[in-house]
Amino acid sequence: MLSNFFKSKLLIYAPLNGEIIPIEEVPDPVFSQKMMGEGLAIIPIGGKVHSPIEGTVILLSDTKHAIGLRSKNGTEILIHIGLETVSLGGSGFTVLVKLDESISVGQPLVEVDWDLLRAQDKKIVTPIVITNSAERVIRFEDSKEGIVGETLLMTVFPK
């Protein structure tokens, strides 16, 4: 049984380049109080949002500011690009994948016009949340700086 536990572990890598912060520091109570689940956030320095896992796209918000992914071990991840970005109605976001598409680590998911977000006074901090974290054991890494596809953010095991 223990060997199955380790076989089903999921490594989650940085989907963006930037500063990694605890979820508790996100200036939005929905995330900082973990209402959506456990996770962390990245303050991006630019670039596209990339897949942090191998899996499937399970959610593409109509306003293109959030994307949901499911790994092969059933872990569900929400990447919420910026805060209060739903009000942009999709402006500044170009989705590069389709619903139900298989994805791999490092694959570009969404192109973001970070300058537009800043010009519209949107916070660019991007939460990465395990939405089914109540069913998971999560081990966070100590990294402070994320590099797309290289920096390990967390390891997730089913309970």
- Active-site residue numbers? 80
SS3 14: coil
Q: Which two tokens stand for residue 71?
A: 């790994």
- Residue of 6, 4, 92, 2 lying closest to 48 (CA atoms): 92
